[in-house]
A and B are shown apart, each in its own frame.
Chain A
Amino acid sequence: MIRFDSVSVTYGATTALCDFTLEVARGETVALLGPSGSGKSTALKAVAGFVRPSSGRVLLDGRDVTDEPPHRRGIGVVVQNYALFPHMRVFDNVAFGLRARRLPRAEIAERVGEVLAMVGMDGYRDRMPGQLSGGQQQRVAIARALAIRPPVLLLDEPLSALDAGLRQELLGELQALRRELPDVAILYVTHDQNEALALADRIAIMRDAALVDADTSDALYRRPPSAFTAAFLGGANLLPGTVLSAGPAGVRVRAGGREITAAGPVASGPAASPSAGEPALVCVRPHALRTAPHDAPDALPGVLTGTQWRGASYRLTVRLDDGPESVVADVPTLEGTPAPGGRIGLRVDEAVLVPVPGDSPPAVPASRDSAPGAPVPDPAPGAPAPAAPAAGDSASGEAA
């Protein structure tokens, strides 16, 4: 339904969107998820026609609309602060697109009533936008976008202006609305992973004006194809390590001062078949870590640097003996945990450990044919240390 074909958008010297390719099918919800400035809103504006791509094409239902002005695209757009026309009543706001299409009066009234009922705002048709609460304005904005029966609905951070409680409530309403619109392709821009996980069939993770990964929410969470996605979606710990061997039982990695087997599912791509000696990152979700005595042979030893009560669990921050980064662990109880400053061990459930490609500098060639179990070559002295997870890019060194 929507297709981005290598779309780039530049504002003067800055690139807001770089070589972006993505497809959203009829009836599908795709969330564009990323930190602010990652280009997700720009991608949405390119579909709406609010910005012009400097290169690439935008297609709607197979039709190239790259050069078409917004008013000929027939897309429903809900912007961040709703932009309800302040000088028009709710009814006139919702009817605006229908009047622009010169529909007969009776049909306008009927369709406005229909969409207002759909968002539960039928009783407010004579109010001015200024008399509505934030949540009500949001509902009217959605109704206004739906009134023109668009095949494509674009939602730009529709919940970000609301407070936390209302956001949860409206998230539920959006899920219900989704079920009522089986044929509409929805592009949902957000920086909140909870919204993305709750609403989207697929998530496209964005960063620095580019697409990092796109897949179903489940796949992205369980087998993150890149370090950035692992950290951004669900806040994973990324232990830097070195691949020892890869086999059907999983990838054996030396990380955190121990040899561990990452036996979790592996995304296709470079992470699927790493070679021995390659740097790799092991993705560990905080809730997959358990405390253990620091000298337990199967635990990663370290020093507890802090604890934080989070209601349902405690979050421990542990500096591992091996490696510069701290890891966080969510544990149900503090029993058996030393006071901050004490030594502690962290036991991992190897079945959910996922290797993600580490960033090896392309200058260091990995020996592809080293036999399994062969002695692991130490990283060459002076070779750059593996990059911090946050700085890791989607593409591994090999892919680049």
Chain B
Amino acid sequence: MTAAATAAPRAARFRLLRPGSGGAWWVLPPLLVVGGAFLYPLALVVQQSFVSERGEAGLEVWRTVVTSAAFGEALLRTVSIAATATAGCLVVGTFLAVVLAFVPFPGARLVSRLVDTVLAFPSFLIALAFTFLYGSAGVVNSALTGLTGSSAPPLDFIYSPTGLVLAEITFYTPFVMRPLLAAFSQVPRAQLEVAASLGARPGRVLRQVLLPEALPALAAGGSLTLLLTLNEFGLVLFIGAKDVITLPMLVYTQGIVTFHYPQACVVAVVQVALSLALYGLYRLAHARMSGRTGGAR
């Protein structure tokens, strides 16, 4: 009993003396910054969503927004676009990463560095590129009309949900590749050689050796991509397709274009709830991934 009683204050005192610490209150300043610049505004958004434009508290705004056709459509669109784009990123990213890591060619290293660079680019770059590549007077359509001789542009997807999905796949594929490449670099080469010497074909090695190893990275990269595509705004804004409205786009039009703050706040709250649920999933996958690599060390 007495030992426990004296141990507690000693523990507290000792922690203050640990090198580089200085106790619990040192974390307060950054917490205050995040609290003031992020949590407080977010709380106000939630609060605002329950106050009508006439200043009455209640669920009135929620009722009008949630029952509106535009909201339902945007919600459905956001989720389906994010899910399709993420699936596409996983397929394309896995293929590219496997080749870069295990069937390398001269210049493969340069290519993976390029992939790293693309990660830091703004997403609207892709929107811009898409208009030049696939727009009605773009490179691909010019080439195709040159071949077929028809006057109407044969490709016309850029202002459709498909166009947005393709643009998001283009932009977010590196986000899947990077954790995968990191995970692949940990796979011992000898393991593949042994598998091959035992008579396993590449497809079998891929399925039974590489992919299980890369699963945590795939989960982490995939859930991050899903999160980012759910929240993507720049691409949607720049492509500017009239009938491809997602939740972030709805927040923007309600908030800035038509100045309906309460409505914008309702959409924002739904958006945040959706992303937070996913974010929890991402942290889980991430924790499991780092737990695995940590255990392997």
Binding site for B on A (CB under 8 A): 52, 54-55, 67-71
Q: Are B18 and A55 in contact (CB under 8 A)?
A: no
Q: Are B7 and A69 in contact (CB under 8 A)?
A: no
Query: 9 pairs across A/B with beta carbons < 8 Å?
Result: A52-B10, A55-B3, A55-B7, A67-B10, A67-B13, A67-B17, A68-B17, A69-B18, A69-B19
Q: Which residues of A contact B13 (CB under 8 A)?
A: 67
Which residue of A has the minimal Cβ distance to B7? Answer: A54
Q: How far is the CA of A71 from the CA of B19 in the complex (A)?
A: 9
Q: Which residues of A contact B69 (CB under 8 A)?
A: none
The smallest beta-carbon distance between B174 and chain A, in angstroms, is 32
Q: How far is the CA of A71 from the CA of B18 in the complex (A)?
A: 10
Which residue of A has the minimal Cβ distance to B13? Answer: A67
Q: Name 14 extra pairs, CB < 8 A, besides A55-B3, A69-B17.
A: A52-B10, A52-B11, A52-B14, A54-B7, A55-B7, A67-B10, A67-B13, A67-B14, A68-B17, A69-B14, A69-B18, A69-B19, A70-B19, A71-B19
The smallest beta-carbon distance between B20 and chain A, in angstroms, is 11
Q: How far is the CA of A52 from the CA of B18 in the complex (A)?
A: 10
Q: Which 10 A-B pairs have the closest CB atoms?
A: A69-B17, A52-B14, A55-B3, A67-B10, A67-B14, A54-B7, A67-B13, A70-B19, A69-B18, A52-B11
Among B11, B13, B14, the one with the most A-chain Cβ atoms within 10 Å of its Cβ is B14
The smallest beta-carbon distance between A29 and chain B, in angstroms, is 28
Q: How far is the CA of A54 from the CA of B3 in the complex (A)?
A: 9
Contact with A along B4-36 (1 / 0, CB 8 A): 000100110110011100000000000000000
The smallest beta-carbon distance between A259 and chain B, in angstroms, is 51
Q: Which residues of B contact A67 (CB under 8 A)?
A: 10, 13-14, 17
Q: How far is the CA of A351 from the CA of B81 in the complex (A)?
A: 87
The smallest beta-carbon distance between A96 and chain B, in angstroms, is 13
Q: Which residues of A contact B11 (CB under 8 A)?
A: 52
Q: How far is the CA of A70 from the CA of B18 in the complex (A)?
A: 8
The smallest beta-carbon distance between B107 and chain A, in angstroms, is 31
The smallest beta-carbon distance between A47 and chain B, in angstroms, is 15
Q: How far is the CA of A69 from the CA of B18 in the complex (A)?
A: 7
Binding site for A on B (CB under 8 A): 3, 7, 10-11, 13-14, 17-19
Describe B's contact surface by its main secondary structure. Answer: helix
Q: Which residues of B contact A71 (CB under 8 A)?
A: 19
Q: Which residues of B contact A70 (CB under 8 A)?
A: 19
Q: How far is the CA of A69 from the CA of B19 in the complex (A)?
A: 8
Which residue of A has the minimal Cβ distance to B3? Answer: A55
Q: Which residues of A contact B14 (CB under 8 A)?
A: 52, 67, 69
Q: How far is the CA of A71 from the CA of B13 in the complex (A)?
A: 15
Q: Which residues of B contact A54 (CB under 8 A)?
A: 7
The smallest beta-carbon distance between B13 and chain A, in angstroms, is 6
Q: Which residues of A contact B7 (CB under 8 A)?
A: 54-55
Q: Which residues of B contact A68 (CB under 8 A)?
A: 17
The smallest beta-carbon distance between A125 and chain B, in angstroms, is 26
Q: Which residues of A contact B17 (CB under 8 A)?
A: 67-69
Q: How far is the CA of A162 from the CA of B3 in the complex (A)?
A: 43
Which residue of B has the minimal Cβ distance to A8? Answer: B3
Among B7, B13, B17, B19, the one with the most A-chain Cβ atoms within 10 Å of its Cβ is B17
The smallest beta-carbon distance between B295 and chain A, in angstroms, is 17
The smallest beta-carbon distance between A317 and chain B, in angstroms, is 33
Q: How far is the CA of A379 from the CA of B10 in the complex (A)?
A: 52
Q: How far is the CA of A112 from the CA of B18 in the complex (A)?
A: 27
The smallest beta-carbon distance between B2 and chain A, in angstroms, is 11
Q: How far is the CA of A52 from the CA of B12 in the complex (A)?
A: 11
Which residue of A has the minimal Cβ distance to B14? Answer: A52
Q: How far is the CA of A258 from the CA of B13 in the complex (A)?
A: 62
Q: How far is the CA of A55 from the CA of B10 in the complex (A)?
A: 10
Q: Which residues of A contact B3 (CB under 8 A)?
A: 55
The smallest beta-carbon distance between A48 and chain B, in angstroms, is 12
The smallest beta-carbon distance between B62 and chain A, in angstroms, is 46
Which residue of A has the minimal Cβ distance to B17? Answer: A69
Which residue of B has the minimal Cβ distance to A71? Answer: B19
The smallest beta-carbon distance between A160 and chain B, in angstroms, is 18
Q: Which residues of A contact B18 (CB under 8 A)?
A: 69
The smallest beta-carbon distance between A251 and chain B, in angstroms, is 42
Q: How far is the CA of A145 from the CA of B3 in the complex (A)?
A: 35
The smallest beta-carbon distance between B276 and chain A, in angstroms, is 31
Q: How far is the CA of A69 from the CA of B15 in the complex (A)?
A: 9
The smallest beta-carbon distance between B228 and chain A, in angstroms, is 36
Q: How far is the CA of A69 from the CA of B10 in the complex (A)?
A: 12
Q: How far is the CA of A68 from the CA of B7 in the complex (A)?
A: 15
The smallest beta-carbon distance between B177 and chain A, in angstroms, is 32
The smallest beta-carbon distance between B11 and chain A, in angstroms, is 7
The smallest beta-carbon distance between B6 and chain A, in angstroms, is 9
Q: How far is the CA of A54 from the CA of B10 in the complex (A)?
A: 9
Q: How far is the CA of A390 from the CA of B14 in the complex (A)?
A: 39
The smallest beta-carbon distance between B297 and chain A, in angstroms, is 15
The smallest beta-carbon distance between A307 and chain B, in angstroms, is 34
Q: How far is the CA of A147 from the CA of B194 in the complex (A)?
A: 52
Q: Which residues of B contact A52 (CB under 8 A)?
A: 10-11, 14
The smallest beta-carbon distance between A202 and chain B, in angstroms, is 30
Q: How far is the CA of A54 from the CA of B18 in the complex (A)?
A: 16
Among A52, A54, A68, the one with the most B-chain Cβ atoms within 10 Å of its Cβ is A52
Q: How far is the CA of A252 from the CA of B252 in the complex (A)?
A: 95
Q: How far is the CA of A85 from the CA of B19 in the complex (A)?
A: 16
Q: How far is the CA of A153 from the CA of B24 in the complex (A)?
A: 32
Which residue of A has the minimal Cβ distance to B10? Answer: A67
Q: How far is the CA of A2 from the CA of B13 in the complex (A)?
A: 23
Q: How far is the CA of A52 from the CA of B7 in the complex (A)?
A: 10
Q: How far is the CA of A190 from the CA of B17 in the complex (A)?
A: 29
The smallest beta-carbon distance between B219 and chain A, in angstroms, is 28
Which residue of A has the minimal Cβ distance to B6? Answer: A55
Q: How far is the CA of A52 from the CA of B13 in the complex (A)?
A: 11
Q: How far is the CA of A70 from the CA of B250 in the complex (A)?
A: 58
Q: Which residues of B contact A55 (CB under 8 A)?
A: 3, 7
Q: How far is the CA of A67 from the CA of B13 in the complex (A)?
A: 8
Which residue of B has the minimal Cβ distance to A69? Answer: B17
Q: How far is the CA of A70 from the CA of B14 in the complex (A)?
A: 11
Q: Which residues of A contact B10 (CB under 8 A)?
A: 52, 67
The smallest beta-carbon distance between A52 and chain B, in angstroms, is 5
